[in-house]
């Protein structure tokens, strides 16, 4: 038996990973204790996602109601499957800036210590497994905010000749910047994943994502930008823009495009890799542009307000340079842009997001 352990297996990226690798023939050991409901309320629960996975994969999906902070429990899980583990996809996290500031110990214990628990269990019980970690562009802190942006009608933008006009690559420093506590805990996890590759030789990769989204996203105000805009439009929920005149830019990558990148790495793994991964120039949008686009896609007029205070650690502009990953895996391609993502979010959720 070949096993993939997927943490956060009922969240967006975890569930897509579980479905993909399960249908590719691996037995999935899914780890998820629905902490998303504790973070963001019952509307963000991943319970329905678990039910979909169990129906889709049947006996090929084994669910474990396990908290990754439980070091002994994680170790026992890895002991159970041992050398049958070929892949670890670690997506479980506390994902919100705002939430982290309210409960910093919880945030750090989940994001940093939980990742250490996963890495050490992999090293001891499945050292040949491929270890994929969903990191974040927030490891760069607010360094991107110091770039020389030009203000356009609906977005901030870099001039075409700028070094990072095509997207920010992995050479941007993570030092001397304001990260938010969430960003700091993800930095710790990111560096640990790299270190277990360099020091112990594990085949690890950090995927530093931009806006990760897709039709199964349990969107909430504090996490899940594009999906939440669509949800607000469809449910007639007022939307709040925080700072930067609503011209802040995000690149959005569809979950299936990201899982395609995971699959490519799994089939030809490397050691201690770091990849910026996002929509890039292919798929990006400002908040104001997203509102206009979503109104067009859904046919609903949105109600929104503006607050001048930006969220701590929020980026004015982020577009990923996917070039490093593409150079290592040239067959990987992106199928979705922002419009296609928004349209699919609308079509997939029209039955339960309509008021």
Model pLDDT for residues 153-163, shown as the tens digit of each residue:
999 999 999 99
For 32, 223, 291, 302, 309, the CA distances from 305, given in Å and listed in that order, are 35, 18, 12, 10, 12
Answering whether pTM is above 0.85, one says yes
**Given a cut of 90, is residue 174 above it in pLDDT?**
yes
- Give per-residue pLDDT as tens, 301-330: 999 999 999 987 789 999 999 999 999 999
Angle between helical axes of 287-298 and 225-235 (0-180°, round to 10): 40
Among residues 27, 104, 113, which one has the least CA distance to residue 62?
27
User: Could you tell me where the DSSP H helices lie in 94-179?
Assistant: 97-102, 104-108, 114-125
Predicted pLDDT of residue 175: 97
Inter-residue contact 280 to 338 (CB < 8 Å): no
Report d(CA 330, CA 335) in Å as an integer: 14
| Mean pLDDT confidence for 41-68 | 92
CA 300 to chain centre: 28
Q: Could you give all domains of the chain from N- to C-terminal order, each with its CATH number?
A: 3-353 (3.40.50.720)
Q: Mind listing the pLDDT tens digit for each residue in 73-128?
A: 999 999 999 999 999 999 999 988 788 899 999 999 999 999 999 999 999 999 99
221-263 per-position pLDDT tens digit: 766 789 999 999 999 999 999 999 999 999 999 999 999 999 9
Could you tell me which of 132, 100, 106, 104 has the C-alpha nearest to residue 118? 132
Query: CA 64: distance to chain centroid?
Result: 21
């Amino acid at each position: 038996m070949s096993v993939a352990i997927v943490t956060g297996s009922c969240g967006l990226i975890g569930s897509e990973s579980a479905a993909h690798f399960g249908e590719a023939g691996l037995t999935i050991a899914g780890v998820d204790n629905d902490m998303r409901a504790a973070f963001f309320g019952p509307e963000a629960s991943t319970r329905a996602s678990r039910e979909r996975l169990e129906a889709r994969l049947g006996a090929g999906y084994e669910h474990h109601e396990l908290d990754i902070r439980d070091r002994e429990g994680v170790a026992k899980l890895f002991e159970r499957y041992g050398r049958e583990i070929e892949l670890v996809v670690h997506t479980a996290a506390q994902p919100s800036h705002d939430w982290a500031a309210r409960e910093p110990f919880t945030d750090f214990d989940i994001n940093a210590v939980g990742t250490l628990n996963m890495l050490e269990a992999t090293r001891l019980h499945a050292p040949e497994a491929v270890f994929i970690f969903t990191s974040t562009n927030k490891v760069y802190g607010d360094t991107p905010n110091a770039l020389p942006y030009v203000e356009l009608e609906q977005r901030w933008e870099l001039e075409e000749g700028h070094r990072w006009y095509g997207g920010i690559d992995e050479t941007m420093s993570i030092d001397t910047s304001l990260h938010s506590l969430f960003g700091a805990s993800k930095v710790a996890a990111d560096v640990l994943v790299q270190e277990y590759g360099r020091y112990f030789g594990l085949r690890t990769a950090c995927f530093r994502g931009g806006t990760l989204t897709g039709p199964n996203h349990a969107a909430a105000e504090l996490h899940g930008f594009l999906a939440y805009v669509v949800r607000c439009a469809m449910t007639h929920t007022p939307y709040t823009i925080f700072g930067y005149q609503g011209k802040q830019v995000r690149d959005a990558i569809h979950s299936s495009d990201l899982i395609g990148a995971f699959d490519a790495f799994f089939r030809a793994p490397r050691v201690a890799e770091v990849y910026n991964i996002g929509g890039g120039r292919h798929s990006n949008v400002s908040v104001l542009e997203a509102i206009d686009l979503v109104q067009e896609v859904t046919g609903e007029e949105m109600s929104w307000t503006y607050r001048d205070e930006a969220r701590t650690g929020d980026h004015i502009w982020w577009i990923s340079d996917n070039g490093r990953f593409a150079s290592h895996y040239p067959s990987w391609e992106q199928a979705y842009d922002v419009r296609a993502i928004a349209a699919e979010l609308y079509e997939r959720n029209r039955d339960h997001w309509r008021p």
